[in-house]
Structure 1
Amino acid sequence: MKRVLAIELRRSPVLLFAPWLLAFDLGMLLATRDSRYWAGDWHATSLAIAFPVLVLAPALAACAAWVAGRGRRQGFAILDAVMPRPARHASIVQWAVVAGVGVGIYLLGAVVAGVRTAAEAKAGHIWLSYVLVGAVSLLAYSAVGYCAGRLVSSRFTAPICGLAVFGWLVALSTTSPRWQRLALTATDPLLTSPALAARPVVVGARVLLAGAVLVCAAALVGAGRGGGRARVVRVTAPIAGLAAVGLVVVGFGGDNLTPRGAPTAGYCQGSAPRVCLWPEHAKWADDAVDVAGRLAVALQGVATLPPVINEAGLGGTPTEPAGVPAIVINTVPVTRGSLITGLVAGIAPTPPPACMLASGSQRFDSERFERYLLVGAWLTYQGSGSVTDNIRPDPERFAELLRASPDRQRSWIRDNIPLVRACDQPVTGPSGP
C-alpha cells in the first residue's frame, strides 16, 4: 500500500487542482463582504468555515470519479486480478488521497478564519460541530464520486458527478430545514443568532448519514465486479439501506436549531444604559454602547431606555423581541445604523404604517408615512450620527427638523410617535417643529 500511496501522491489530479481549491476556499472566506461580519464572531465564523463546502464537495467528487475510472480507461483494469494485494487496498488509497487533500484544504481554511477571528474576538470560542459536519460531508461526497467512477469509467463521469453534487447542494439549500439535513454540511444562515445552536441530535444525524454514504459507496464499489442475481442484491441492498437512513434523518421531529442556554454573564459594557451582548458578539459592544448612550440622551422627555439593555436571547429578552428595547444583530454588514431598530423597539414602529385615508377612501395616507420616515430618520441620526439609505424622508422637512432646537425636536417627535404607531390616530399638528 505504501507504493500505491507514493504513486497517488505523485499523479492524483486532486494535487493539480489543490492550489486552485485552496485559493477558492480562502477567497470565499476572506474576499466577500460577509467576512466583515463573521470576523471576530466565533459563531458566524464557524458557519462561514463550512460555506466553501458548496464548491469543495463537487470538486472532490469529480476528482475522485476521475481517479476511480482512470485504470479502466487506460486498459489496466485486468491488473486488479493479478495484484498480490486485494484491489480494495488500491481503491482505499486512491480515495483517501483525494479525500485527505480536500479535508486538508478545508481545515486550512478553518485555521485561517480562526486566526482572523481570534485577532478581533473579545470572547467566545469556535463551534466545532459546524466544522465537523463540513469535514465529514467532504468525505462522503468524495466517496460518492469515487463510487460513480468505479461503476462508470467514462471520461464524462467526473464532470457529470461534480455538477450533480453541486446541483444537489444548491437544490437542498432552497428546501425546508428538514430536507436540508441531507446536504450533510451545515446549512444554517450566517446570520443565525448565537441564541440558537444546532441540535446535537441533528449534528449526529448528519454524521450518521455521512457514515451510511461511505458504507454504501464501499459496498457498491465491491459490487461492481461479477454478475447475476447476487450482484443485483449487492447493488440494491446498500442503496436501500442508505435510503432508509436518509428517510429517518429527514423524518424525525424537531427543528435543526434549538434555543441555547444563556451564559451566566453576557459581555457587558457601559452604564446608563448598560449593554450586555452574547460573548460571540462582543466585538460590537463599543458601537452598541455608544449608540445606546446617544439615544438615551436624545430621547430625554420622549421615552426612557431601560438601565440594562440585553441582546436578544439574553437576560430573559426573547429571541425575537417585540416592544422591548434590545440589541439585535441580524444584518450584513453590522453597522451603527442597523443597531437602531432593536434599541427603539416599543418606541417607534418597525414596519411602516400601511394606513389608508379614512371614510372609505382607497388613497394611501402619505402624510402619516412621511412622518414615519421623519421619526425613523431622526432616531437613526441621533443614535448613529448618520441616516441609512433605507430611510429616505423628504430632505427639506428633515433638514428643517434638525435645524430646530433640541427641545423642539423632542417635542415634535413625542407628539408624532403615536401618530405613526397606529392608523386610528388622526394626523394633526404641524408637519414640522
Structure 2
Amino acid sequence: MNRRLHHPHLIMTGIAILIATAIAAPIELRARQRPAVADFAPPLPASEAQAVVAAVRAAERMQQQSAAEAVPLPAVQNMYFASSGFHISDRTGFLSFWRRNGGELIFGYPISGELIEDGRIVQYFERARFEYHPENLGTEYQVMLSLLGNEITQGYDFPDGQPTQGRLYFPETRQTLGGKFLRFWQKRGGLRIFGYPISEPFEEISPIDGQVRITQYFERARFEYHPEQLPAFYRQMERANGIILSGLHEVQLSDLGRQAMQRRGHTPQAVGPMPGAPAWSPKLFERRIEVNLTQQMLTAFEGDVPVYRAPVATGRDGFNTPAGSFAIYYKLPRQTMTGSAGGESWYVPDVPWVQYVVGGVALHGTYWHDAWGTGVRMSHGCINLNIDDAEWLYHWADIGTRVDVVY
C-alpha cells in the first residue's frame, strides 16, 4: 500500500521543513555542498574515476603485501639503492635525514657505505657528506652536513660581494644571494642544508655537462643555473608577467660529495642488497598528499614522514577548493585550460603537470602568477603550484594517491 497517497499534507509539511532548513543553513555549509567549480571539466565521470582509483589501490595493496611477505621491513630501516649499489641505514639517522630533506633531488644517491673519518661516522652521497653526531642524539642536529664547499674551494680567492637592492647580504661571509639562487636556497633548505654563500655568482665550466654556467659556491654546496630546464614558453611568460618561476632542474647541485670522496682517496665498491634490506622506492610506503587551505601549503608524506613541502594558491571565494579526502584519478603532463562560470570565461594553454583529484579540481603548475603561499587565493577551484613543485609531485604520485584537503 502506498500511504503517501492518503497523506498529502505530510508531503507538503516535509517539503516546507526541508526548504526552511536549507535557508537557515550556514552559508559556509551551503557553499561546500555546491558542486565544485574548477578550472577544468572532469575528464572522467565520477563513477568511472572511483572505479579507476579502487582498481589501482587494490593492485598496489597486493604489491605491498607481497613485498612485505618476501622482505619484511626491519626494525631499523636499511634501504638498498640499486642505482648506486649502496645502502642507507637509520641506525645513525641518515635514512630519515635523507628522506626528510630532499632525498635524491638535493643529495643524490649514496656512493659509499658508512665510513669512519676523523673518529666520526660519515657517509658520502653524490652531492653531500653526512656526519653522525651522537652528542646531539635525538635532536635535529644528530645528522649534519660537512662543509664540502669550503673544502673543495680551499685556495680560492673569492672577492667580497657588495650589498645591493634585491639581494640578501651575509656579513658572516661578506657575500650576497639573489634571484633564482636565493629562491632555491630558501625553498630547499637554507642555511642548514647549504650554509652561507662563500662566493658571488660567476661563470665557470660545469662539472655536470662541461658547459660554461653561472655558478655560486656555498659552505656545503655549489649551485649551477640551467635556464633551458624551464621551457621557453614559461620563460616568456615569466618575463611578460614580471614574476619568478622555477623549473625542477633549473638550479642544479654539483657532485661535491663525489669530488670530496675522490680527494680523500676513497674507492668504495658497490655491493648487493643485504638480507632484509628492500630496494628503495617511495612505493614501499603509503603515499599521501595534504593540502592545508588555511596555511596555503602542501605536504607530501611517505608513511608518516613528510618528504616534500610546497606553497599553493587555491580557489577564491565563489570558486572555493572543496575540502575532503580524495584521490588522484587522472594525469596529464600538459593541458589547455578552458572554462566558463560565474560570468567569466578563460582559455589558458599548456598548463603543466596536471593531476585531477575530484571532479574538475586538479593539482597543476601555474605560470600566470607566483602568489603561492602568500594567502592570495586566485584559482577557480584548482590547487595552483609552481612548475617545479607540480613536476616533482607528478612523478612522485600515482593514480590512487590520496589527497586530503583540510583547513
Q: What's the TM-score bracket when you normalise by the shorter of the two chains?
A: under 0.3
Greater helix percent: which structure? Answer: 1
Greater strand percent: which structure? Answer: 2
